[in-house]
Amino acid sequence: MSSNFSQLNFSRRDLLKVGSFGLGSLMLTGLMPRMGHADMMAPRQPNFIPKAKRVIFLFINGGPSQFESFSYKPELKKRDGKDGPKKGKLLGPQLNFAQYGESGMWVSEAFPHIATQVDRICMLHGMQTGSNGHETAIPLLHTGDFQFVRPSLGSWIAYGLGTENQDLPGNFTIKPTRTFGGPSNFGSAFLPSTFQATRLGWEHQDIKKASIYNLQPTLGLTSEIDRETLRLTQSLNEQLRGQSDEVQGVMDSLALGERMQRAVPDVLDLSRETKETLEMYGVDQKPTDDFARQCLLARRLVESGVRFVEVMSSGWDHHSNLDKFKDKATTIDKPVAALLSDLDQRGLLDDTLVIWTGEFGRLPETQILSGKESLGRDHNSKGFTGFMAGGGVRSGLIYGQTDELGHQAIEGAIPLHDFHATILHLLGLDHTKLTYRYGGRDFRLTNVSGNVVKDIIV
């Protein structure tokens, strides 16, 4: 022990503060894992040869309208203004559509940049979920359940596969929402806390001002004292290692926290990117700058070995002001297209699964608010659109469809558990075997259902 450290007059309370606010907190909460073996984040073999090694999940929070984005409904356009089956009148698409690429995918004028990438995309028109409310649909999308706190999708993936870079976490989230599940959407629940996501920022926060708490020493401690604190803690843990296997898990978590302090700042440093790359994403351009930085960070993280990264765009709940949809789309269109192109140019798209979806879609009718019609659409969980790209899915494929007006899926339906099962399958994981025993029973992401959608896989 160094003389600098031995001269400090630390009380027991001070030492506890150092432990709670220092390196340990970098691993977020609950360091004592429930899985009693070392190297929890070491790379693990999947159940079979994977198509994808990593995931970037672009969560479009609020339920983006498929009728103004990727689901062209000429019959709905034809019947615009006529009585619908519910309270409102039928509302035709508010934007023009055209076909793009060899696949001939329909894309609205709101997404001209993504339109150039359609032959890399697998468009899914039969998405379904189990709820029409944000408060339940968002936890469902992220954890497979809403009645109880369950591990998040990213946590399950990190648990099943570990991480490719031992200096970085396996699970990362950028600007998640505080509401409708909040931290549970990226938490590990009863899985060891090592597998929950490291968080950068919160929803509505400027990404340039976002930081990871405790990435640097706190309480006025110098880096040297911080390191000595870790050595002392680890030496005490070493004496207890024989009493419980769980102690090794704590030691691994603390060691990862120290390594992250050195590795994470470099990965998050966008100044290392070329001017051409920054311009391609839309960094320092209005209105794309914030989401461009998030997408570029996601690419840097997966390129560095992080297994799962989620990026979120909020503000897509168009019960009204649907005429502002195109403006909203402009904030993400160029960054998403750049992400796909950049991954492909770097040879990463083939084994990186990119997912774009909201928690649900919208109805083909005008929204009724306070008894009056509004230029907007209500929620629709029975048939909506998302897409995947890379990671073993068939590029240029248009899969599934809703009825001629877009109320519900009539072909190629993908219920939520099928969606999750397919993601895990692409990563080489059998969703029926990726289980964790807790409270006397085996849990899994897909509960007791889920079928892999093999038709969309190469």
> pLDDT band at 192, cuts 50/70/90?
confident
Residue 37: the pLDDT is 44
Residue 253: the pLDDT is 65
Average pLDDT on 252-264 reads 71
Task: For residues 107 and 67, give the distance between their C-alpha atoms in angstroms, rounded to a whole number.
Answer: 10
User: Higher pLDDT residue, 428 or 263?
Assistant: 428
Residue 257: the pLDDT is 66
pLDDT tens, position by position, 66-100:
999 999 999 999 999 999 887 779 999 999 999 99
User: Higher pLDDT residue, 3 or 395?
Assistant: 395
Task: For residues 449 and 414, give the distance between their C-alpha atoms in angstroms, rounded to a whole number.
Answer: 12
pLDDT tens, position by position, 265-290:
899 999 999 999 999 999 999 999 99
> pLDDT band at 23, cuts 50/70/90?
very low
Taking the model in full, what pTM does it have? 0.88
Burial class (CB in 10 A: 0-12, 13-18, 19+), 46: middle
Task: Tell me how far the alpha carbon of residue 234 is from its chain's centroid.
Answer: 33
Q: Minimum mean pLDDT among 159-168, 216-225, 380-389, 400-409: which range? A: 216-225
CA contacts within 13 A on the Cβ side of 6: 3
Nearest to 87 by CA among 363, 318, 274: 363
**Is residue 197 scored above 80 in pLDDT?**
yes
> pLDDT band at 244, cuts 50/70/90?
low
What is the amino acid identity at position 226?
D
